[in-house]
Amino acid sequence: MTEAAALETVDVTCVFQVSQGLLRGSKPLRAVNGVSLKIPRGRVVGLVGESGCGKSTMANILLGLQRPSSGDVLYSGDSAAGFSRRQIARRIQPIFQDPYSSLNPTKSIESIVSQPLRIHNVGAPSEWSARVGEMLDVVGLPRRVASSYPSQLSGGQRQRVAIARALIMRPEVVICDEPTSALDVSVQSQILNLLQDLKEEFGLTYLLISHNLAVVQHMADRVAVMYLGRIVEEADSDTLFNDPRHPYTRALLGSVLTPEPRLGVPDTHLGAVFPNPIDPPPGCTFHPRCPDCMAICRSEPPRPASDGGHKTECHLYGGAGAPPTATHRGDNP
Ligand code: SF4
C-alpha cells in the first residue's frame, strides 16, 4: 500500500516493568515489540489478536497516552515528539468498547459530548451547545437527548453518544477499540454502518481494534494480526481472509464460527494456553501452540518476509514467501 499514511508506527517497542513481589524485583514485559504499521489516510486498518497481545497498548501509544520505550509514531509523517497532547487529541480520537463505563453517569449528554471542546478549549463556549446538537444529528440521535443522562439511554444510543464525543473535535483518525463488542448483536450492525457512513462523510481514517474477525472483515481495507506484541501477518483484507498464511492467523480464522458469537472471543482451538508475556517462549513465541512447528521455530525467532504487500513473520515463509510443504509441517509434539 503506497498511500500517504495518516498515522504510522516505526519499530515501536513498549516495555513495562512488572513487579514479581517484594523480594523478587521486577521483570520486563514487552507489550509491543518492534511494531511498524502504516494506517493510510481514508482507509480502515484492522488490528486483531487475542486479549493480551498488545492491541490496547498500541492504541494508547497512538493516542499519545503511553510513550513508547523506543521507536517513533508519525502523524502525517511528522514525529510525535513534536506534538503536544492537545495537538494529538485534535487529530486522533478514540471510541472505546464499553459505552456503559466510558460515559460519566453523573453528566448530561450535552456535557459529555462537549467535554473535548472544554478540555482542549476549542471554539467559543457560546457555540458548544449548537455543536453538540449538530453532532447528535450526525450520529442519528434526537437533540432532546442532550439533557438526558447515560442511564436513560440504550446501549446503542450510548455508543452513538461516544461517537459524537469523538467526532466533535473533527479528528482525522479515529481509534475504534472494540466499538461493538459490548452491544447486542442486533445493534452492532447499526453502529458499524454508522461508522462506515461517518467515514465517508468526514473523510475519516480508522484503526479498528477487535478480536471479532467478522467485524474486521466487514470494515477493514487492510488487516494486521498481532501476537505477543508482534505483527505476525499483514495484508489487504481480501488477501488475508482468502489466503491466510501464518498458522496463528489460520487458527483465528478457524475460530470465527464460535458457538457464542455474542462473546466475540475467538476460541482458537490451539490447545496450549496463551503464553505469559513476561516469560515468552524462545524462538518463535507462537511455537508452543503452533501445529506447524519445526525444530528451528523453538530456537530462532522468524524474520519478517514480504511477498508483495503480504507480510508474514514465520519460518514457513522466511524466504520468498513459499507456501508450507508437507515435509516440514507439523512436527510439534
Ligand atoms: Fe509456527 Fe514456526 Fe511459523 Fe512460528 S515460525 S508460526 S512455530 S511454523
pLDDT tens across 44-55, in order?
Answer: 999 999 888 899
- CA of 287 from ligand 1 middle (Å) equals 6
**Measured at the alpha carbon of residue 88, what is the angle toward residues 85 and 90, in degrees to the nearest 5?**
115
The domain containing residue 321 runs over which residues?
253-333
Number of independent structural domains in the chain? 2
248 in any annotated domain: no
247 in any annotated domain: no
Q: Name the residue of 296, 314, 327 whose CB sits within 8 Å of the most ligand 1 atoms, as the mutation to test its pocket.
A: 314
Type of residue found at 63: L
Query: Position of cell 498515522?
Result: 7
225 within ligand 1 shell (Cβ under 6 A): no
- pLDDT at site 291: 92
Asked whether the predicted pLDDT for residue 265 surpasses 70, the reply is no
98 in any annotated domain: yes
Render pLDDT for 149-175 as a digit per residue (tens, 0 to 9). 999 999 999 999 999 999 999 999 999
pTM for this prediction: 0.89
| Atom 3 of ligand 1: nearest residue by CA position | 314
Query: Which atom from ligand 1 is nearest to the alpha carbon of 287?
Result: 7
Find all residues with CB under 8 Å of 259, minimum gap 6, and list them. Answer: none
The residue out of 242, 275, 308 marking a domain boundary is 242
Mark whether 68 and 171 lie in a shared domain. Answer: yes
Mark whether 193 and 317 lie in a shared domain. Answer: no
Asked whether the predicted pLDDT for residue 256 surpasses 60, the reply is no
The residue out of 209, 242, 275 marking a domain boundary is 242
203 in any annotated domain: yes
Q: What 3-state class would DSSP assign to 78?
A: strand
Give DSSP secondary structure letters for 236-254.
Answer: EHHHHHHS--SHHHHHHHT
Mark whether 109 and 128 lie in a shared domain. Answer: yes
30 in any annotated domain: yes
287 within ligand 1 shell (Cβ under 6 A): yes
Find all residues with CB under 8 Å of 151, minimum gap 6, and list them. Answer: 105
Cell triple for 260: 457464542
Answer whether 167's CB lies under 8 Å from 202's CB.
yes
Mark whether 100 and 223 lie in a shared domain. Answer: yes
- CA of 283 from ligand 1 middle (Å) equals 9
